[in-house]
Chain A
Amino acid sequence: MTPAKLDLSPLRRAAAWRPAEYAFWLLPVAAFFLFPKSLALLSQIAITALFCLSLDLILGYAGIVSLGHAAFFGLGAYAAGLMAKYGWGDPLLGLAGAAVMAAAAGFLTSFLVLRGTDLTRLMVTLGVSMMLYEAANKLTDFTGGVDGLQGVDIQPVLGMFSFDLYGKTAYWYSVAILFVMFWLARRLVHSPFGLSLRGIRQNVGRMPAIGAPVNARLVAAYTIGAAYAGIAGALLTQTTQFVSLDVMAFSRSAELLLILVLGGTGSLYGALIGTMVFMAAHHFLSDINPQYWQFWLGAALVLIVLFARDGIMGLLRKLSTRARTSS
């Protein structure tokens, strides 16, 4: 008996890095030199991008809609914050702790999420995040409640780079973690596992017929997404050295969904580009007009959805095919 030979070359071809991608990752380096005084904003863009990537993994790839993803973000933020408060201030250790904590919560709640279809999933995810929010609000002695968690003392990254006023360390640290996590996510979605997730999203009825365990795959994807969100939350805690109850707020989950749709679901770069565009727009508009900026942001979002159906990534893809066919 010879084992059946699988031709994996198309998979490998799809997984190869393209020149445009290398160029994309030069952006954070360029941004550092172009906007040396906006590193605080740039770090938060990187962190939100990682958070958005985590939602993309579960929504864009596994097709699980969630309105409560901030629950895992918040869990990670509190895990890292509490670890640092009680003497475990090493940043990388904090990330690991946050990832484990969020993954565990993701794994446990994934069974609830599996039980329904889209609408029930929206409700279940929202419910879970509301419960965690109220729990964090109630446990004032532990989390600081509405006042926020203080005394978060973060040690220097790798014992060498301490967090500074200008946010240089915070920026490189956030970007480095984003890159590593992105690289891992990229490997994941191009793996047979990632393909099976896409298959599940496209036709859930067919996947068992070709021998893919749908539920196990969804549980795994949801858990991984939660871990990613936890790491993003931990990064936010470590770079701001504070945790506010707002990390678990519904508005954070909703805004994240908006960013992902804006960027384009089901493409890792969509999550990154959506975050960059949204947060930059938010920043500039609110600087110009601190009171009514939301109007302009809303107008911009409506226009983008009208003219770029699959988000910014969809638009880019359309433009590139048009350029290719015309040449």
Chain B
Amino acid sequence: MKLTKTLTAAVFALGAALSAQAAEPLKIGLVLPMTGPFAAYGKQIEHGVKLYLERNGDTVAGRKVELIVKDDAPGTAGDVSKRLAQELVVKDNVDILAGFCLTPSAFAVAPLATEAKKPMIIMNAATSAITTKSNYIVRTSMTLPQITAPIATWAAKNGIKKVFTVVADYGPGHDAEGQFKKTFLAAGGEITGEVRVPVRNPDFAPYLQKVKDTKPDAVFIFVPAGEAGIGFMKGFQERGLAQAGIKVIATGDLLDEEVLDAIGDPALGVISSFHYSEAHKSPENLAYVAAYTKAYPKDRPNFMSAGGYDGMHLIAEVLKKTGGDASGDKFIEAAKGMKWTSPRGPVSIDPATRDIVQTVYIRKVTKVGGKLQNVEFDQVNEFKDPGKQ
């Protein structure tokens, strides 16, 4: 009832100023895992999108935004994501496809975006090649090489000469390992050893012993956020690797705000590179975190919600530029080169690759007011995805 009233009010208010065509609702189909193992990711992205609309009003260039959320659980099944996206296009007539938490779902839907000529906004999936799969794709999250290379560069510059790499044995793990080695070796570092551990329930004890024996300056770790990261950090503590002078360096997804509390104090001192931290010091982020905490008091804002928030920001700004036109070619043309200040810092869309260009920060886990936070202390400005070079 309330919705109908607001809708009627909006239509009346705009009716005078705008043409009937422009007042048509803007339908955005969000394909996200809302149940299953990645439900937390889907929820965070949805929070980000909704928070943007809450803070900036849900009417964009005279068009009322209508969100249609489809659960593509488990999030790794391309066939499910593709079917849902197809339905959104054919049945719900959406103007824009958005969401896409994991790489297989983005890969599977990409040809559909091309065929239907619909803008497709990637709000998380981080494999570098995704944006090359359709000219209608724009990404507002990050790419794996983009957040991996800076930690390698930083390590080489800051007295870390020998690194042991530990990655989960699956696609993203292999990519992280490859990028880290490439950048670190080019910067003059040395890899003392590398292991790939099973994705599910790995027992880190034997690997950690091996790490300890080779006496590196640091361990580079990449495992899926959650259980595995917690297990690694606890084992690292118990086996006294920290006392042996070995540091932990990682990409920031291991230490995202959602899991940081679960890892607890063993995470203290871990250095990572990432594009978003709740503790980022900027007026934009302060306002964003305050609004987020008010809207979702049970959750902490993290990179997923930032990806959703910025994705919605991009849609809104592009539509302002095109005067409410969301047709594929016009949308993408307008999105190219778009620049804004996000809660994470300054970002822009690379006109050549349609991928995000952003500042990547080097952070250290520190206790701030009794809460574990990734406190930023160094940064690489306007960093493009090195995976496409």
A residues adjacent to B (C-beta < 8 A): 37-41, 44, 137-138, 140, 144-148, 150, 165-167, 236, 240-247, 249, 251, 286-287, 290-294
B69 at interface by CB-CB < 8 Å: yes
Q: Identify which of B82-90, B251-259, B346-354 touches chain A.
A: B82-90
When C-beta atoms are compared, the residue in chain B nearest to A287 turns out to be B70
B202 at interface by CB-CB < 8 Å: no
Q: Identify which of B71-79, B154-162, B315-323, B335-343 touches chain A.
A: B71-79
Do B70 and A290 touch (CB < 8 A)?
yes
> What are 15 A-B contacts with C-beta separation under 8 Å?
A40-B82, A138-B169, A145-B174, A146-B172, A147-B103, A148-B108, A165-B89, A165-B116, A242-B79, A243-B78, A246-B77, A246-B79, A246-B104, A291-B34, A291-B71
- Residues from chain A with Cβ under 8 Å of B91 in the complex: 37-38
- Residues from chain B with Cβ under 8 Å of A148 in the complex: 78, 103-104, 107-108
How far does the alpha carbon of A165 sit from the alpha carbon of B83 in the complex, in Å?
11
The CB with the most chain A CB atoms within 10 A, among B74, B78, B108, B112, is that of B78
Min CB gap A149→B, angstroms: 9
Do B86 and A167 touch (CB < 8 A)?
yes
B111 at interface by CB-CB < 8 Å: yes
- Residues from chain A with Cβ under 8 Å of B103 in the complex: 146-148
B370 at interface by CB-CB < 8 Å: no
Do A245 and B76 touch (CB < 8 A)?
yes
Min CB gap B376→A, angstroms: 30
Do A290 and B133 touch (CB < 8 A)?
no
- Residues from chain B with Cβ under 8 Å of A243 in the complex: 78
Min CB gap B94→A, angstroms: 12
- Residues from chain B with Cβ under 8 Å of A240 in the complex: 78-79, 82-83, 108
When C-beta atoms are compared, the residue in chain A nearest to B133 turns out to be A150
- Residues from chain B with Cβ under 8 Å of A146 in the complex: 76, 103-104, 170-172
Name the interface residues of B159-183: CB closer than 8 Å to any CB of A: 169-172, 174
- Select one of B74, B108, B115, B133 contacting A165, CB under 8 A: B115
CB-CB under 8 A for A44 and B79, given A138-B169, A165-B89: yes
Do B87 and A38 touch (CB < 8 A)?
yes
How far does the alpha carbon of A294 sit from the alpha carbon of B33 in the complex, in Å?
13
10 tightest A-B CB contacts, nearest first: A246-B77, A244-B78, A37-B91, A148-B104, A242-B108, A290-B71, A40-B86, A244-B104, A290-B34, A146-B171
Number of A-B residue pairs, CB cutoff 8 Å, is: 104
How far does the alpha carbon of A204 sit from the alpha carbon of B34 in the complex, in Å?
46
- Residues from chain A with Cβ under 8 Å of B366 in the complex: none
CB-CB under 8 A for A290 and B78, given A147-B107, A148-B104: no
Do B104 and A290 touch (CB < 8 A)?
no
- Residues from chain A with Cβ under 8 Å of B74 in the complex: 246, 249, 251
- Residues from chain A with Cβ under 8 Å of B78 in the complex: 148, 240, 242-244, 246
B379 at interface by CB-CB < 8 Å: no
- Residues from chain A with Cβ under 8 Å of B71 in the complex: 286, 290-291, 293
How far does the alpha carbon of A245 sit from the alpha carbon of B103 in the complex, in Å?
11
When C-beta atoms are compared, the residue in chain A nearest to B33 turns out to be A290
When C-beta atoms are compared, the residue in chain B nearest to A47 turns out to be B79
Min CB gap A167→B, angstroms: 6
- Residues from chain A with Cβ under 8 Å of B104 in the complex: 146-148, 242, 244-246
When C-beta atoms are compared, the residue in chain B nearest to A42 turns out to be B83
- Residues from chain A with Cβ under 8 Å of B34 in the complex: 290-291
Min CB gap B143→A, angstroms: 13
Do B90 and A165 touch (CB < 8 A)?
yes
When C-beta atoms are compared, the residue in chain B nearest to A294 turns out to be B35
How far does the alpha carbon of A286 sit from the alpha carbon of B39 in the complex, in Å?
13
Do B107 and A150 touch (CB < 8 A)?
yes
When C-beta atoms are compared, the residue in chain B nearest to A165 turns out to be B115
How far does the alpha carbon of A144 sit from the alpha carbon of B91 in the complex, in Å?
31
When C-beta atoms are compared, the residue in chain B nearest to A237 turns out to be B79
B374 at interface by CB-CB < 8 Å: no
Min CB gap B30→A, angstroms: 9
How far does the alpha carbon of A40 sit from the alpha carbon of B89 in the complex, in Å?
11
B285 at interface by CB-CB < 8 Å: no
How far does the alpha carbon of A126 sit from the alpha carbon of B123 in the complex, in Å?
35
B127 at interface by CB-CB < 8 Å: yes
- Residues from chain A with Cβ under 8 Å of B76 in the complex: 146, 244-246, 249
How far does the alpha carbon of A251 sit from the alpha carbon of B172 in the complex, in Å?
22
When C-beta atoms are compared, the residue in chain B nearest to A285 turns out to be B71
How far does the alpha carbon of A40 sit from the alpha carbon of B91 in the complex, in Å?
10
How far does the alpha carbon of A44 sit from the alpha carbon of B174 in the complex, in Å?
32
- Residues from chain B with Cβ under 8 Å of A137 in the complex: 169-170, 199
Q: Given A242-B78, A246-B74, A286-B71, 8 more contacts at CB 8 Å?
A: A40-B87, A138-B169, A150-B107, A240-B108, A243-B78, A245-B104, A290-B69, A291-B39
Min CB gap A281→B, angstroms: 14
Do B115 and A140 touch (CB < 8 A)?
no
CB-CB under 8 A for A140 and B77, given A165-B90, A290-B69, A293-B71: no
How far does the alpha carbon of A40 sit from the alpha carbon of B133 in the complex, in Å?
22
Do B86 and A165 touch (CB < 8 A)?
yes
- Residues from chain A with Cβ under 8 Å of B39 in the complex: 291
Min CB gap A107→B, angstroms: 27
- Residues from chain B with Cβ under 8 Å of A241 in the complex: 111
Do B108 and A244 touch (CB < 8 A)?
yes
- Select one of B82, B89, B127 contacting A147, CB under 8 A: B127
When C-beta atoms are compared, the residue in chain A nearest to B84 turns out to be A40
Do B79 and A244 touch (CB < 8 A)?
yes
Complex interface bits, B275-290 against A, C-beta within 8 A gives 1, otherwise 0: 0000000000000000
